[in-house]
Amino acid sequence: MKIAVLPGDGIGKEIVAEAVKVLGVLDLKLETETALVGGAAYEAHGHPLPDSTLQLAKASDAILFGAVGDWKYDKLERALRPEQAILGLRRELGLFANLRPAICHAPLVGASSLKPELIAGLDLLIIRELTGDIYFGQPRGRRTATDGHFPGADEAFDTMRYSRPEIERIAHVAFQAARKRGKKVTSVDKANVLETFQFWKDVVTEVGAQYPDVALDHMYVDNAAMQLVRAPKKFDVVVTGNMFGDILSDEAAMLTGSIGMLPSASLNASNQGLYEPSHGSAPDIAGQGIANPLATIMSAAMMLRFSLNQAEAADRIEAAVGKVLEQGLRTADIHSEGTTRVGTREMGDAVVKALRG
């Protein structure tokens, strides 16, 4: 089993090191190879996703990814910005299914900005389509307007589009995931305004007919944003397009107390996957040893479960994370009175200890 390790920028290096440490204590034959990605790769090779990194990713069963980005690259032309590395990997590997679970760990109920009763026991799964929509739709660019409100003015445009097979395959992922959980799918769209998302709703409804055992409902994205903070426990599986999923998954992450707790999986049709925390590179705290490594450690667990067929090892890691939280260990982002504040490395060491114990 070969894993490409791509730590990236900012806190990426620190948190990925802890996840690799945790993987190392499992009794598994894992071969890892590390490569540069994002700003770090741009500095060394002049490109955020060098061909050598892309080839390594393609040749691996799974990719363990940290985070990319730093404000200092904001002025680079778009094609060279760190974010292009993750977008390029998604596109080149066809990683169309993004799974972002938002689970509230009991000891962290108080860390949420919502009332404890709203989020105690929360367990929802956002399934975000990841290779289509306005993120990748062509054409896009800048030009001089020939119509609209200001003909003759400079303008910019992107294209929102989805094809039937793209919607069908992500809908199947959602219904199949729901079958293994609460048997309920909420499809999030903007069918009241957008042609693309009326089509999305129609196709999801058609696919849903093949899953009579799973309840399907539809929600406009603005309402979904509201319901997520009003009654988040009413959701089981949420399926949506690339851009709405980007926004709603950050919102869902925060329900659980900290975005530092949320893992994610991005899968292609052959279950090859990229695993990364849902949060970013946090350049403001990079190098200080205070970042929360748990989202990355739990991403490694998802990797074992979805791409490497090691569900038992995945369960063990998740149980170990639960144990360190029960012990009261907290990184700065989830720290509260009466708990013990630890750094990135201590948190990783505690998970290793819990695994061994």
Q: Which residues are catalytic?
A: 135, 190, 222, 246, 250
- Member of 1, 32, 45, 83 binding ligand IPM (CB under 6 A): 83
* Least distance to ligand IPM, CB of residue 292, Å: 17
Q: Which of 125, 71, 78, 4 is nearest to 286 (CA)?
A: 71
Whether cis (ω within 30° of 0) applies to the bond prior to 139 is yes
Binding piece for ligand IPM, criterion CB under 6 A, among 70-78, 80-88, 225-233, 302-310:
80-88
Q: Is 246 in the site for Mg ion (CB under 5 A)?
A: yes
How many C-beta atoms surround the C-beta of residue 46 within 10 A?
9
* Least distance to Mg ion, CB of residue 280, Å: 8
Size of the residue set binding ligand IPM (CB under 6 A): 4
Contact between residue 295 and residue 277 where contact means Cβ atoms under 8 Å apart: yes
Mode of pairing for the β-strands spanning 141-144 and 62-67: unpaired
Q: Would you say 65 or 175 has its CB closer to Mg ion?
A: 65
Q: How many angstroms separate the most distant Cα atoms in the chain?
A: 70
Binding piece for Mg ion, criterion CB under 5 A, among 176-184, 234-242, 244-252, 331-339:
244-252
Size of the residue set binding Mg ion (CB under 5 A): 1
Q: Which of residues 189-248 bind ligand IPM (CB under 6 A)?
A: 246
Binding piece for ligand IPM, criterion CB under 6 A, among 79-87, 102-110, 116-124, 230-238:
79-87
Degrees, nearest 5: CA angle 241-309-314? 85
Q: Would you say 136 or 199 has its CB closer to ligand IPM?
A: 136
* Least distance to ligand IPM, CB of residue 68, Å: 7
Residue 287 is classified by DSSP as T
Radius of gyration for the chain, computed over Cα atoms and rounded to the nearest angstrom: 20
* Least distance to Mg ion, CB of residue 90, Å: 12
Binding piece for ligand IPM, criterion CB under 6 A, among 13-21, 81-89, 155-163, 188-196:
81-89
Instruction: State which H helix or E strand residue 103 sits in.
Output: strand 97-103
- Member of 23, 86, 89, 228 binding ligand IPM (CB under 6 A): 86
Place of tokens 């997520």: 228
Q: Which of 296, 305, 307 is nearest to 269 (CA)?
A: 307
Decide: helix, strand or coil at residue 343: coil
Residue numbers at the binding site for Mg ion (CB under 5 A): 246
Residue numbers at the binding site for ligand IPM (CB under 6 A): 83, 86-87, 246
